[in-house]
Amino acid sequence: MLVKQGKEKKWFRAVWRQNSTVKMIDQRLLPKKFKIISLKNHKQTVKAIENMAVRGAGSIGATAAFGAMQAVLEAKPKNFKQFIERAFYRLRHTRPTAHDLFWAIERIDFAIQEKNPRKAKISAIKEAEKISSEYCERGKKIGKHGEKLLKNGTRMLTHCNAGWLALLDWGSALAPVYAAKRNGKIVFVFVDETRPRLQGAKLTAWELANEGIPHRIIADNAAGYYMSEGKIDLCIVGADRIAANGDTANKIGTYEKAVLAKENSIPFYVAAPTSTFDPNTKNGKKIVIEERPEREVLFIGKQRIAPKKSRAFNVAFDVTKAKYIKGIITEKGIIKPKKKAIKRLF
């Protein structure tokens, strides 16, 4: 997407490859500072996923693909297979909930099977680039299908960040908004702040402001009020893993919004590429939910906001049952969150 740099706008992608180096926008610094970081080996890429320099299911997937590629390029002929297995293991244990991460690593793993080191390196590069390009195209198609849900003047609620920072070039939940703008529609977005890391206030708002899309940031616990007042017409959120029955894991707080939307007869949609679906996970109860450091809840930035003796729980995701979801917007169209509909995708 285009990002304002001084008086000009320049095109950037959330994450990309430059030879064997992975380049990405450091999302931890936004909106105060726009910085590109360079990750020169797979260990640095692992750290970037762990510390959330990159986040968002699709961008994590692309980063994992590039990280796996780096591991293949770094491996020496003498212990080629063992080195790659250790590196892939490390990548798989960075963020347990996001299915795209595992999907991307499996793609690289499959691409290099039964190949000698030289051919494996070539295949890893090609497959990583292919995965990145596919994410861009899938986001664009999600935007095309989802845009049909948005009328001129629609007031939409979203949670966390599922824009182009989270899925290369277009995003998932915000892709329909960007597509609507390009078709001349005005859409107003209610942006949940999304505690504890404030991805809505920091990242979604930054994207929308950069695109010139009208929006307001609201406290996480204010969404119910605006729904009850009839000020929200539609909800669209992203996803980190979608089970075979349509149950969906997304940023903590999503479940609350879905229940509130149902209570107020507001359509609630999930937007995600097919790489986010996990056909091997039967339902939401089987999804592994990541727990992150309690510091994220106890502090805002470097400032502690809680008493020194207080501790915190910090689950990063929750699961929204399929019964609360009106539809899932994919690159193949909008489907019902039903087993048969999901099975047909594959």
User: pLDDT digits over 203-225, tens only?
Assistant: 999 999 999 999 999 999 999 99
195: left (phi over 0), alpha (psi -120 to 50) or beta: beta
Task: Report, as an integer, the average pLDDT of 281-300.
Answer: 97
pLDDT at residue 6, as a whole number: 73
State the pLDDT confidence band at 1, using cuts at 50, 70 and 90.
confident
State the pLDDT confidence band at 3, using cuts at 50, 70 and 90.
confident
Above 90 in pLDDT, residue 2?
no
Three-state DSSP at 242 gives: strand
Least Cα distance to 71 among 41, 49, 50, 35 occurs for 41
Task: Report, as an integer, the average pLDDT of 329-344.
Answer: 97
Task: List Cα–Cα distances, 26 to 29, 95, 113, 250, in angstroms.
Answer: 6, 17, 33, 21
Query: What is the tens place of the pLDDT at every residue in 108-148?
Result: 999 999 999 999 999 999 999 999 999 999 999 999 999 99
Task: List Cα–Cα distances, 262 to 274, 301, 322, in angstroms.
Answer: 25, 34, 12
Q: Say whether pTM exceeds 0.75.
A: yes
pLDDT at residue 62, as a whole number: 98
Above 80 in pLDDT, residue 277?
yes
pLDDT at residue 172, as a whole number: 98
Say which CATH topology domain 2-140 has: Four Helix Bundle (Hemerythrin (Met), subunit A) (1.20.120)
- What residues are labeled active site? 240
DSSP conformational letter for 151? P
Phi, then psi, of 110 in degrees rounded to 5? -65, -40
Above 90 in pLDDT, residue 11?
no
Q: State percent of the chain over pLDDT 70.
A: 100
Domain boundaries, given as residue ranges, for the chain: 2-140, 142-345
Say which CATH topology domain 142-345 has: Rossmann fold (3.40.50)
Q: For the chain, give the mean pLDDT.
A: 97
User: Which residue, chain included where needed, has tokens 């960007």?
Assistant: 178
State the pLDDT confidence band at 53, using cuts at 50, 70 and 90.
very high
For residue 157 the two structure tokens come to 């609620």
